[in-house]
A and B are shown apart, each in its own frame.
Chain A
């Protein structure tokens, strides 16, 4: 992995090609593609059941795709086991934190760093970034608040010194202030040369931090571009599946019928923070 970390031009660090994933009979993802360039913050947005988490979990290796491929720095890792992908440089902060509940804060970080690649991150650096953590390192993670647990989960992923950091719904179940604080750490994380692929239901948050976004709706891509290039109407249309999201054309009224797939209703109440 010490060969050219950064290749010339716009060679993607992480590439997903025509990825299709089934949960049993259900097609959760249908031909999704994306290219994440080194240093980018790539955000996947979409409502509940759009397939965002499935996408991240498949990239991390926790789901096997039915078709398509995943490439890390040009190397096909589609058939590689999750723990090997982790050591190759894909780290994930899973939805719901998933900390080791009977382990202390420090032990969680140590497990995260067991098979760490060489790099700038270590336990000390995580303690520096989250000032409160060092004093409470011998506490069980079950005793921490949701935001603190999320910080430990991020720290656990960082100490592995990944090349690509997958963040699954950081804001889930956290107070807006806490979410702001956690996303406020993003510049520090990016400054160490990390590339981030994140999934977020909170659209305004995603648009703030992302260099590129992709909107999913029931397993399909409905919008892709830079946050500065897309309008609020386009995002809204893509998020809820209203009409054609192509630039210029006004969103057509009424939700399109997505008969059959039935991946959880796209309730208009969810994440209506679209600016």
Chain B
């Protein structure tokens, strides 16, 4: 029964990891940008939520209504102004620029806010309570909610990419940027839209993480980015549903590791990550380069 509990907890945590990872995967799939600032952007989402709640007194669970659009606009702007300029200078430049962005964000948060840990929705009944299944399994409402949100986001993204005009353009640009231009598609604008979606999803993840745990200026790189990377690589680069599978595998591995020895939680996740890299570097989902 202990193991069943571990697997359930791991799967649910995987939803949060998938939410972190899908934006990273989308930006890589569409513009071949490995966004090293992705984790910090999640944290920014958390801080923006803190600010929005303090100013508007909006309930924490509804804060995403304000935070996600803000982050999406920020994503579009950052893509058009900063990341596009890096892309024009070559793929390696985007690595350096997003790494720089990450450093600037962390330093900025330390400078203008503080190094303390923050958390969202402390004392909120829905966020902190859980229900029991049988005698040994306790499921937190929050984790279940985050998992459902992750599935809804992935379903929505898939529908958007496969059925909408802009989704079609995103896939076309990912396939062949030049041919898309010949059809009148401004790929810079399309990249901006993809970045807006990625930032929006990572903001959701940041809010979820803020309620689930606590965040500080450095949480973005030392926890979130690594988990997101692991989820993307385990699931398969550029595959949307692969991020959910990757997140779930990572979450379950961590829970089982913690069951063996509480200090092995994070290590166990990375061991699975390493094993996938060695045995199946294209990831668990075979559909490669498909969004």
Contact = CB atoms under 8 A, between A and B. Distances in A.
Interface residues of B, number: 20
A66 interface: no
B186 A102 contact: no
B184 A100 contact: no
B90 to A, nearest CB: 16
A235 interface: no
A87 interface: yes
A157 B289 CA distance: 25
Contacts of B181: 61-62, 81-83, 86
A86 B290 contact: no
A138 to B, nearest CB: 12
B179 A86 contact: no
A160 interface: yes
Interface stretch (A71-79, A108-116, A174-182): A108-116
A218 B187 CA distance: 33
A92 interface: yes
Interface stretch (B47-55, B124-132, B164-172): B164-172
A108 B290 CA distance: 16
A99 B172 CA distance: 9
Contacts of A241: none
A98 B178 contact: yes
Contacts of A110: 165, 168
A115 B185 contact: yes
A91 B182 contact: yes
Contacts of B182: 60, 62, 82, 86, 91-92, 94, 98, 157
Given A102-B290, A107-B168, A114 B175 contact: no
A86 B184 contact: yes
B184 A160 contact: yes
B135 interface: no
Best-buried of B181, B186, B290 by chain A (most CB within 10 Å): B181
A86 B180 CA distance: 10
A198 to B, nearest CB: 15
A98 B178 CA distance: 9
B111 interface: no
Interface string B17-40: 000000000000000000000000
B176 A100 contact: yes
Interface in A153-196: 156-157, 160
A114 B186 contact: no
Interface string B57-81: 0000000000000000000000000
B56 interface: no
A274 interface: no
B183 interface: yes
Contacts of B176: 98-101
Given A111-B169, A111-B180, A83 B175 contact: no
A103 interface: yes
Nearest to B174: A102
Best-buried of B165, B179, B184, B289 by chain A (most CB within 10 Å): B184
Contact of B172 (A81, A94, A100, A115): A100
A114 B184 contact: yes
Contact of B179 (A61, A94, A102): A94
Nearest to B181: A82
Contacts of A100: 171-172, 175-176, 179-180
A99 B182 CA distance: 11
B186 A83 contact: yes
B183 A115 contact: yes
A84 B183 CA distance: 9
Contacts of A108: 172
Given A83-B186, A115-B185, A103 B175 contact: yes
Interface of B: 165, 168-169, 171-172, 174-176, 178-187, 289-290
13 contacts: A61-B181, A62-B178, A83-B181, A83-B187, A84-B184, A92-B182, A100-B172, A100-B176, A102-B289, A102-B290, A107-B172, A114-B165, A114-B184
